[in-house]
Amino acid sequence: SIAPVTVTVTGASGQIAYGMLFRIAAGEMLGADVPIKLRLLEIPAAVSAAEGVAMELEDGAFPLLSSIDITDDPDVAFSGANVGMLVGARPRSKGMERADLLSANGAIFTAHGKAINNNAASDVKVLVVGNPANTNALIAMNNAPDVPDTRFSALTRLDHNRAIAQVVKKTGVRASSVRKVSVWGNHSATQYPDLSHATVAGEPALAVINDRDWVENDFIPTVQVRGTAIIAARGSSSAASAASASIDHVRDWVIGTAEDDWVSMAVCSDGSYGVPEGLISSFPVTCADGEFAIVPDLAIDDFSRERIDLSVSELEQERAAVRELGFV
Ligand code: NDP
């Protein structure tokens, strides 16, 4: 029989986790034959709500769900963790300064990085969803010196999926026919969704679309501010789509990306494409055997260069701010 995989989810009583946990338990993330041990981390005030979520998970009678533990102690939560999905983060509240937001999240992700370092399984893979996701991942990574930097990532798969969705709407093809979309930089409004290398039904996407004005003035801003549009329409932030993208991210990292395609993940830069080493920035990546590799040797034109640089400079500013606060 296959050994169970321990999956730790933080912010486990929140909206995104609510969309995630049932799919993880159903085997949609790690495979239909892999038993799951769930570890739910919450702040003390939300432990009771997490117990309610655990009751619902029990009531799913999922054959693969071998245990559920709920705790407010990060050391317990990450003990033996093979996969860490860091969803819990301090949201910006009214009147909160940017520095306050960075220091509240800096404290959380410092603690979680240390707990991962000291307790997780040797093969741990970490996905940070809680915002500011790239910089929270940077802080966790820097507080886990014994864990390879390549085990830390932040979510830009939702942006990647949103980019595919816009191309689907524009061209009428199925989502599976849109390949090699790239998202570069920060998971923020400066991100650069890039169709330069994308294909639609095997043909160059930009040629199929043949509408540069749409790409620059509709596609890019629509993907960049999609989260805000959903808040305006729904009255609360995107949760199910963020959960679904998180499942996609971990599944492809563990199981591998499709032949002739790639995905976007924010990972520690090795200096590729001029992104300063050590920043957690989104790149097109392929995955195999549980490891990602940044897609090499893509031609970057002036238009793309300018947009990548803009988003990366925002990441550098965030890094400078959390350095000043002593988190990295
Ligand atoms: P959600 O589950 O809706 O969101 C959680 C985090 O994901 C937020 O930081 C949110 O950012 C971020 N996020 C990333 N991508 C997206 C996206 N595309 N759309 C929406 N959100 C995105 O928040 P809830 O408030 O429902 O739940 C958070 C839970 O975390 C609470 O239960 C809280 O108790 C817990 N928490 C746990 C901590 C811990 O484990 N130590 C610490 C702090 C909180 P944004 O804020 O920008 O929307």
Closest by CA to 267, choosing from 138, 147, 177, 98, is 138
What is the Cα–Cα distance from 291 to 274, expressed in whole angstroms? 22
DSSP string, 215-282: IIIIIHHHHHTHHHHHHHHHSS---HHHHHHHHHHHHHHHH-PPTT--EEEEEE--SGGGPPTT-EEE
pLDDT above 90: residue 189 = yes
Domain match, 164 and 139 both:
no
Residue 24 lies in a domain: yes
- CATH code of 189's domain: 3.90.110.10
Task: State in Å: Cα 114 to ligand 1 middle.
Answer: 20
Q: Is residue 221 part of a domain?
A: yes
Cα–Cα distance for residue pair 83/193, rounded to 1 Å = 27
133-143 burial string, b = 16+ CB within 10 Å, else e? bbbbbbbbbbb
Q: 9 CB under 6 A from ligand 1?
A: no
Q: What average pLDDT does the segment 44-55 reach?
A: 98
Q: Could you identify the atom of ligand 1 that is nearest to the CA of residue 77?
A: 40
**Cα of 262 from ligand 1 centre, angstroms:** 27
Strand 203-204 and strand 65-71: pairing?
A: unpaired
If asked whether residues 148 and 196 sit together in one domain, one would say no
pLDDT of res. 81: 98
Task: Report pLDDT for 91.
Answer: 86
Residue 96 to residue 252: CA distance in whole angstroms: 36
Give me the domain span that covers residue 147: 5-154
Nearest-CA residue for ligand 1 atom 33 is 11
Give the helix, strand, coil percentages of the chain, each rounded to 5.
45, 20, 35
User: Could you tell me if 310 and 162 lie in one domain?
Assistant: yes
Each residue of 268-303: pLDDT tens digit?
999 999 999 999 999 999 999 999 999 999 999 999
Residue positions annotated with a catalytic role? 187
Look at residue 257 and tell me whether its pLDDT is greater than 90.
yes
* Binding site membership of 131 for ligand 1 (Cβ less than 6 Å): yes
Which is the closest atom of ligand 1 to the Cα of 49? 32
- Do 193 and 210 fall within a single domain? yes
Q: How many A from CA of 154 to the centre of ligand 1?
A: 13
Q: Do residue 85 and residue 144 come from a single domain?
A: yes
Q: Is the CB of 245 under 6 A from ligand 1?
A: no
Structural domain ending residue among the three candidates 120, 139, 154 = 154
Model confidence, pTM: 0.97
Average pLDDT over residues 97-114: 91
Residues 95 and 201 in one domain: no
CATH number of the domain enclosing 18: 3.40.50.720
Our mutation pick for probing the ligand 1 site, out of 8, 72, 85, 87, counting the most ligand atoms within 8 A of Cβ, is 87
Residues 163 and 312 placed together within one structural domain of the fold: yes
Q: What is the mean pLDDT of residues 168-172?
A: 98
How many CB atoms sit inside 10 A of residue 198's CB?
22
- Residue 253 and residue 271 in one domain: yes
Q: Which DSSP string do the residues of 110-154 spell out, in sequence order?
A: HHHHHHHHHHS-TT-EEEE-SSSHHHHHHHHHHT-TTS-GGGEEE
295/92: higher pLDDT? 295
